[in-house]
Amino acid sequence: MPDITSRTIVHSTCPHDCPSTCALEVEKLDSHHIGRIRGASANSYTSGVVCEKVSRYAERVHHADRLSQPLKRTGAKGSGEFAPLSWESALDEVAEQFTRAAQRLGATSVWPLYYAGTMGLVQRDGIERLRHVMRYSRQHSTICTALVDAGWMAGVGAKMGPDPREMGDADLIIVWGSNPASTQVNVMTHIAKARRERNAQFIVVDPYRTPTAKVADTHLMLKPGTDGALARLARVKEATPFFDGARLDDIVDYLTYAFVPALLLVHAQLLTPGWGGIVSAAILLSSAYGFAATDAKTDDYFFTGFPSYWNVVALYLFAAKLPPVLNSVILLGLSVLVFVRIGYVYPSRTPILRGLTIALCLAWGLMLLQIIATLPDVSARLLIVSLFFPNA
C-alpha cells in the first residue's frame, strides 16, 4: 500500500501525442505510485484541466495486466511466444545490434526513425541526442508531416495562428471541422470562459453531431463537400486575402497525385533498378506541366491529357505484380500521354452521360476497395474487370 503521508505533487508534461501538451500536476503517492493527475493550475493554457483519460492515468500505469518488463520473442512471428528478460539484457541486445550494424555498414546504417509519439520537447527530441552522439542517420523533420509542412509553407509562407487562449476574449467562436471536446479539451476551457464571461456565441461547422457540436449555440451540419460554398458565403477569401486556397489545393493535389505515388513506386521497388530517377522525373515533370497548363481542362470538363492519376496507377502496378521493366515502360508511356491531347472524363463534372459515368465510377470505386482489401494477393480477374471503367 502506498504511504499516503508522503504524498507530494510533482510537475510533468503529458506523454501523449496530443497538440495540447498539457503541463501536469502529478500526485506522487510514494516512489513507485502515482495518484490523481490534474492540469497545472499555474499554466494559463492548461488552467488546471486535463482530459479524462489522462486524469485517470494511475489506473493504467498501475494496472495488474500492464506489461512491466521487456519480453523477447522466442517463437515464430505471430506465434505469441515470448520470454521475459531483464531491462539490462534488453538494452544490451538493442545496443549490440546497433553497434554491430554500425561496425558492418557504418554509423548511418542506423536510423532512429520517429515522429513524435509524445509532444513534450524533452521526451520527443531526446532521441536526437543519441543520434547526434552516434552520428546515426536522420530525416528532415518527421516522415509524417514533412510533405504537408512543405505544402503549407509553399502556400502560406509561415506557420502562424492565434494563441488559443485568446478565445477566452472572443465574442464569436467558430470551430470548423474539428472536435476539441474529444481531442483538445483545453480549447473547450477557453471557449467556456468566453461564453461565461462575455456571452460569446459558439458555432460549430461539422457534418457530424460531435460532442463539440452538441454543446454549441449553433451547429451548422453541412453535407460533406459543401463547406466550400459556406466559406464563400462567409467571405473567407476577403477575411484572409493573404491566403490563396486554390494554390494550396493544387499543391496538396500535386503531392497526393504525383509526388507521393512516385515515392511509393521507388520505395516499393516497382521500377527497374537504375530507372527510379528517370521514371520519377518523368512522372513529376509531366505532372507539373499538367497541373500548370491553362488548357488542362476543356470548358465541358474533359481533361486534355492523362490527368496525373498516378496514385491509381501505383495501386494497380502494386497489385498486378508486373515485371519492373514493364511497370517502367507503362509509367513512361503515361507520362508522354500527359502531353497528348486526348479527352479524359472528369467523373464528377463532365456533363455528357454524367449519370452513367457516376454509376460506373461508383462500381469502379467498390472494386478498388476490394482490391485494396485483398492486397497483396489480388484476383487477376478483378483487376482486369476493374480496368474497364478507367479505359472506357
Note the residues at the interface with ligand SF4 (CB under 6 A).
14, 16, 18, 20-22, 50-51, 54, 185
Nearer residue to ligand SF4 within complex by CB, 47 or 335: 47
Least distance to ligand SF4 from the beta carbon of 10, Å? 16
Least distance to ligand SF4 from the beta carbon of 165, Å? 15
Query: For strand 71-73 and strand 82-84, is the pairing parallel, antiparallel, or unpaired?
Result: antiparallel
Least distance to ligand SF4 from the beta carbon of 120, Å? 9
Give the list of residues 6+ apart from residue 14 with CB closer than 8 angstroms, or none: 20, 21, 22, 24, 50, 54, 118, 119, 120
Nearer residue to ligand SF4 within complex by CB, 24 or 29: 24
Nearer residue to ligand SF4 within complex by CB, 20 or 212: 20
Q: Where are the alpha helices (DSSP H) in 106-209?
A: 121-125, 127-134, 146-156, 180-183, 185-198
Least distance to ligand SF4 from the beta carbon of 18, Å? 3
Least distance to ligand SF4 from the beta carbon of 312, Å? 37
Q: Is 73 helix (H, G, I), strand (E, B) or coil?
A: strand
Q: Are 22 and 46 in contact (CB under 8 A)?
A: yes
Among the listed residues 338, 322, 354, the one whose alpha carbon sits nearest the alpha carbon of residue 254: 338
Q: How many residues does the chain have?
A: 392
The Cα-based distances of 213 to 59, 181, 207, 232, 234 in angstroms read 30, 9, 10, 22, 19
Least distance to ligand SF4 from the beta carbon of 14, Å? 3
Nearer residue to ligand SF4 within complex by CB, 190 or 307: 190
Nearer residue to ligand SF4 within complex by CB, 18 or 284: 18
Nearer residue to ligand SF4 within complex by CB, 9 or 366: 9
Q: Which residues sit opposite 26 in a β-bridge?
A: 10, 37
The Cα-based distances of 236 to 7, 228, 263, 310, 389 in angstroms read 52, 10, 34, 32, 38
Least distance to ligand SF4 from the beta carbon of 213, Å? 19
Nearer residue to ligand SF4 within complex by CB, 50 or 345: 50
- Identify the burial level of 175 via C-beta atoms within 10 angstroms of its C-beta, where 0-12 means exposed, 13-18 middle and 19 or more buried: buried
Provide the 8-state DSSP code for 82.
Answer: E
